[in-house]
Structure 1
Amino acid sequence: MNTATASRYAAEYQTIAPVLPGQALPWLKALRAEALMAFSAHGFPSPREEEWRYTNVSGIEKKLFSPSLSLTAGDLDSEWLKSYQLEDTWSVVLVNGHFSAELSNLTDLPSTVSVMSMADALVKQPDKVEKYLGTAADQSEHSFIAFNTAWFTDGLFVHVPVKQVLNKPIQLLHIVTGSDAMATTRNIIIADEMAEAKVIETFVGIDNAYLTAAVTEVFVGSNADVTLYKMQSESDKAYHFGGSYIKQARDARFTHHNFAFGGLLARSDIHADLDHASECELNGLYLGVKRQHIDNHTRINHLKPYAISRELYKGVLDDRARGVFQGRVIVAIDAQKTDSQMNNRNLLLSDDAEVDTKPQLEIYADDVKCGHGVTVGQLDEKSIFYLQSRCVDEETARNMLTFAFANEMVDKIKIRSLHDIVLEQVLARFPQEGVNKEWL
């Protein structure tokens, strides 16, 4: 705990609080004040905390990142921006933590569906925001959530009503352009009974040192179906914390695809609470090069009977990169007939790469089917030899096997434009000689 750092941020907070959205709402002011107090008391998370034992965020404490108080989108390169905006989606763009109406596109959105910035939602639908904000993400869990609750400048609000099926995805594009900047955003996604929606979060930034702290709360109604994609490809000097917290009703289905490529230090939390007969699928791919540190923390709470969860995370680490996977499945005492499987597979491409993996099962019911598996290793020499025996040189054989390992997760993406951009990110990080893009 570094209370000196917390005090510096708390002092800075007093200068920005008056311009944060929702200051006219007593309940939000009280929530922010409570969060500020929690953060001031604890500071940023420490490796002394069990949930953060493999991830040291002291690099964040050495700087004082400052939020942008207004939108600054004028210097964005239009071609660079276009390369990240996905085709055939509704697009919401946040620049330095603020909604840009000019860069966003919500044309032909069904009139019954609400998609707007969080700042607008706090004006137009404050009662609905109050009902959901902070109920999936518990700010007492760790101080990054409290930090986000106090500091968030904007975000995305989505409400899909009963039986509404969205015919194309919503993309939330987070862009950070400033040096020593801080982009702190809060998102709420609500899918009512029997609704269906797909949301894509994309995190990118200019090559600067900055901090992204984003929290997304997802509420999946009875028999509803929500798929959330996240692609994090930020500056290699940036720090990233992104948390997704999900509450599923009876028979609800939720799928998450997490692709972590960027940042000097990046941490993703995905926590889901499952109700009776609900289904949850978590997929992830993390690629680390140079001295990157990429941490993934997942938790699936089986609270009621007959729920099903599936989890597969893969990591590929090269140079002196470090990966972390902490996966936890909790089966409550009355969650009988739970069916849960968790797997984490890691490929180390250099002797200096490192991964810490910690799968956990906590089972309090007695009629369940649960299991987990972990692998950490290098490329299989027998497979390399097999390809060499088929006239493939050793370097190409290694490249082919590496991409085949990663491509299993890329192939799970059913949105073509997102699939292609994620594939480009994978190809950009590892040698391509001998690998044909069309194979992947």
Structure 2
Amino acid sequence: MAGLPKKRLRAPEESTAMDHAERFRSLRPQLPGRELHWLEQLRDAAEHRFATSGFPSSHLEEWKYTPRALIERQVFQPAGPDAAPVDAALVERYRLTDAWVLVFVDGRFASDHSWLEGLPEGVAILPLATALQACPEQVAARFQRLAGKQDHGLVAFTTAYFRDGVFLRIPAGATLTRPVQLLHLASRAGGLRVLRHLVLLECHAEARVVETYAGVEGAEGLTAAITEIELGENAALEHYKLQVEGPRSYHFGGIYAELARSARLRQHQGAFGGLWARTDIHGDLGQGTECRLDGLFLATGQRQLDTHTRIRHTAPYGVTRETYRGIATERGRGVFTGRIVVEQEAQKTDAEMNNRNLLLSDGAEIDSRPQLEIHADDVKCSHGVAVGQLDPDAVFYLESRGIGQDSARQWLTFAFAKAMLENIDLDELRRQEHAALLTALPQAESIGEWP
């Protein structure tokens, strides 16, 4: 009709992104650091970015296997102002006994179940919401410096709406004799848990950090957690991540690291939970650095478990070793994308990537994409990938020794996976991942006591 203003029609994806942003915008008054101008500016920019792009979709090459519609159909709600009751049995199940532990329930810090007694002088381990009040300048100097390089909606989402997290700073020359565990527990269906962690090791410092993500039976929702890691010259960090959330949960984890000269990073990931779970591991490596990454996933039912790594060598004499194994059964799906970039200045780089995968059923799928991008001419770089089924000769060999076919297949599958568990230096964590593997592995009772 003449004279009436034309209504602009939005594309479905745009509408969805804006609707999500409108829903989450109501969280802003509850978030920490509202009195900090720099943080509010970051949140404003991130909120606008998320309203524009929404959750990442398969239109982006790095997210081509992402089931965006699964996430966007859900309604996630953050925990209320009152702390949720903590399942003490669940805390004890996953808590490391000889560690400094920070427990988070539905994204909120649970001080009554945390333990930080006896920290060495000068070591700071604080909930991020507390650090924003106690030492805002130290947080401001590092927050978003590494994660901000990632141009996708989930990073913007965590920046805009993070509720808490951990600020960990180890001063120069200090060595932590116990690991630090960040224990995240989900207690309810439809929950929203958004966290940001800062891990800072100054020169010659050493530490071990464990991130554990679990939940009570029936707990669902979305966990979005980003960890930024800065390692000073000659610093060394062992970082572990165990993800065993519920079968209807969604999980995104980003680990973004920067290594100064001669620093060393060792990272292990075990992924067994969630309907969809993805972890990105990115690292920028300086001169003479060492980066060792390995991990294991087991996708059962209709789970999709993704691991994406991107290691960039920016200076000479760096070493990278990546070793990942995946198992998919029933209609499970796994994705591994590993990318190693060697810049022109990074001569004498030594980098290897190995990805082996096991398909246990006709409906299972694993997509593996190893990538090398080399701009230097004096390097040693290689990659290998294999996707296959159990060796029928090996199954027959065990059957000929009196072992039933189902048991033989389970034994061989467990042996394939167990090789990655042996890379875990923390005995208690290795036992937890061993138990998680057996819980997730179909018909694991046929394995019995493994030596």
Q: AA paired with 2:233?
A: S
For 1:37-116, list aligned pairs within 5 A: 37-74=48-85, 76-116=86-126
C-alpha displacement of 1:136: 1.2
The CA deviation at 1:15 is 2.1
The residue matched to 1:251 in structure 2 has which SS?
Answer: coil
User: Which 5+ residue runs of structure 2 have no aligned equivalent?
Assistant: 1-11
CA-CA distance at 1:69 after TM superposition? 4.0
SS of the residue aligned with 1:340? strand
Q: 1:210-230 deviations in whole A, cap 9, x for unaligned?
A: 000000000111101001100
In structure 2, distance between residues paired with 1:102 and 1:139: 36
* Structure 2 counterpart SS, 1:437: coil
1:263 partner letter: G
Pair 1:340 & 2:341 matched: no
Query: What is the CA RMSD across the aligned residues, in angstroms?
Result: 1.3
Are the equivalent residues in 2 in contact too, given 1:399–1:433 (CA < 8 A)? no
Cα deviations by residue, 1:312-335 (Å, 9 ceiling, x for unpaired) = 110011100000001100000111
TM-score (norm 2): 0.95
**d(CA) in 2 for partners of 1:437 and 1:30?**
55
Paired position in structure 2 for 1:221: 232
Determine the structure 2 residue equivalent to 1:233.
Answer: 244
1:378 to 377, 381, 389: 389
**Pairing partner for 1:16 from 27, 30, 42:** 27
> Pick from 400, 406, 427: which aligns with 1:395?
406
Paired with 1:214 and 1:70, the residues of 2 have a C-alpha distance of: 20
CA contact (8 A) 1:2 1:44 kept: no
Aligned residue identity for 2:184: H
Query: Are the aligned partners of 2:286 and 2:313 in contact in 1 as well (CA < 8 Å)?
Result: yes
Alpha-carbon distance in 2 for matches of 1:135, 1:79: 38
Runs of 4+ with deviation above 6 angstroms: none
Once the two structures are superposed, the pairs formed by residues 25-424 of structure 1 within 5 Å of their partners are 25-74=36-85, 76-138=86-148, 140-206=150-216, 207-424=218-435
Out of 4, 11, 14, the residue aligned to residue 3 of structure 1 is 14
Q: Does the 8 A contact of 2:20 with 2:54 survive in 1?
A: no
Identity %: 43
2:243 and 2:353 map into 1 onto residues whose CA distance is 22
**C-alpha offsets along residues 9-39 of structure 1, whole Å, 9 cap, x if unaligned?**
3223332212211111100000111111111
The alpha-carbon deviation at position 386 of structure 1 amounts to 2.0
Kept in 2, the 8 Å contact 1:16–1:69? The answer is no
- Determine if contact 1:347/1:378 at 8 Å carries over to the other structure: yes
What is the distance in 2 between the residues matched to 1:104 and 1:128? 23
Q: Paired residues, what number?
A: 438
Q: Output the TM-score relative to the length of structure 1.
A: 0.97
Which is greater in Rg?
A: 2
Range 367-376 or range 78-87, more displaced: 78-87
Could you tell me which runs of 5 or more consecutive residues in structure 1 were left unpaired when the two chains were aligned: none
SS of aligned partner of 1:425: helix
Cα shift at 1:342: 0.4
Deviations 1:329-379 (A, max 9, x none): 000011100100001110011111001111100001111000000000010
Once the two structures are TM-superposed, the CA of residue 68 in structure 1 deviates from its matched residue by 2.0
Report Cα offsets for 1:141-166 as digits up to 9, x if no partner: 21100100001000011000011000
Could you tell me which amino acid in structure 2 is paired with residue 379 of structure 1? L
The amino acid across from 1:172 in the alignment is: L
